[in-house]
Amino acid sequence: MARTRKALKSDMGWSNKTSITVKGLDLCDDVLGKLNLGDFAFLEIKGRTPTSRESLIFNAMLATLVEHGMTPMVIAARLTYLGAPESLQGAVASGILGMGSTFAGTAEGSARLLQEAIKPETTSAELPALAEAIVARHVASKMPIPGIGHPLHKPVDPRTPRLFQLARESGVSGRYVELMTLIASVAELAFNKPGQLPVNATGAIGALSSELEIPWKLCRGLAVIGRTIGIVGHLAEELRNPIAREVWERTEEESSEHNRA
């Protein structure tokens, strides 16, 4: 029996000899000079341009994870560029591959946690009990709770209160932000770690993505957008002030000296 084939169709974009169309907008007339990069990303993801309030929050989310200093991700990118300077895209990719549960990768997990917990009929009054149940489940399974805790930023990740302030001022803050905050508070009691498990930047991004009705499966992509910009920035600095060779040579020298000892 012949299989009925699904029609191949995409509404993302198309072009002809004289124009390029993106999500129904003319690239030259409707996008260039009118949409910033964050708004363009919102258009690609949501299929529409953001409101002014959505634009403010979404751009702030993307900017949050652009830069965090000399992390393993950017060290990997710099070293890859040292070894293959003809492949900048390979260096960027090597850095992005380091995005995970330790560095910048838990926005997906926190958004999933929140989106699976809150149903359309869930009320604010039910959120404390939801937070208790979520923390208890993670305690029992000995699994870390995505979106809370940070090795450096304690008792507050400074990015989180700013993001949540912008969300309140923009009318975007709601049940997801409230639940994420409650989870952190309950977890600090459950693990007896007062001031040690703040909502971190990826937890804030997971909550705000949920408020913007962005599916959790796309949330790591938001972190990828921000970190990609940061990695390119580090490679630009590497061109101006190369340090990757020093990192490599010192690592080889010092690790070899240790082995000889």
| Greater pLDDT, 130 or 105 | 130
Q: How confident is the model at residue 102 (pLDDT cuts 50, 70, 90)?
A: confident
Give the whole-number percent of the chain exceeding pLDDT 70.
Answer: 98
Instruction: Report whether pLDDT(53) > 60.
Output: yes
Q: What per-residue confidence (pLDDT) applies to 259? A: 61
| pLDDT tens-digit readout, 198-234 | 999 999 999 999 999 999 999 999 999 999 999 999 9
Instruction: Report whether pLDDT(258) > 80.
Output: no
Q: What is the CATH number of domain 70-255?
A: 1.10.230.10
| Helix axis angle, 107-117 to 219-240, nearest 10° | 170
Instruction: Report whether pLDDT(261) > 60.
Output: no
pTM, two decimal places: 0.91
Task: Work out the mean pLDDT of the chain and round it to a whole number.
Answer: 93
Q: How confident is the model at residue 260 (pLDDT cuts 50, 70, 90)?
A: low
What region does 52 belong to: left with phi over 0, alpha with psi -120 to 50, or beta?
A: alpha
Burial classification of residue 247, based on how many CB atoms lie within 10 Å of its CB (0-12 exposed, 13-18 middle, 19 or more buried): middle
Integer-rounded Cα radius of gyration of the chain: 22
Alpha-carbon distance values, 249 to 91, 209, 243 (Å)? 19, 42, 10
Alpha-carbon distance values, 148 to 109, 129, 202 (Å)? 11, 18, 8
| pLDDT tens-digit readout, 17-29 | 999 999 999 999 9
| Contact between 61 and 209 (Cβ < 8 Å) | yes
Q: What's the mean pLDDT in 148-162?
A: 92
Q: What per-residue confidence (pLDDT) applies to 150? A: 86
Q: How confident is the model at residue 3 (pLDDT cuts 50, 70, 90)?
A: confident
Cα separation, 37 vs 31, in Å, equals 10
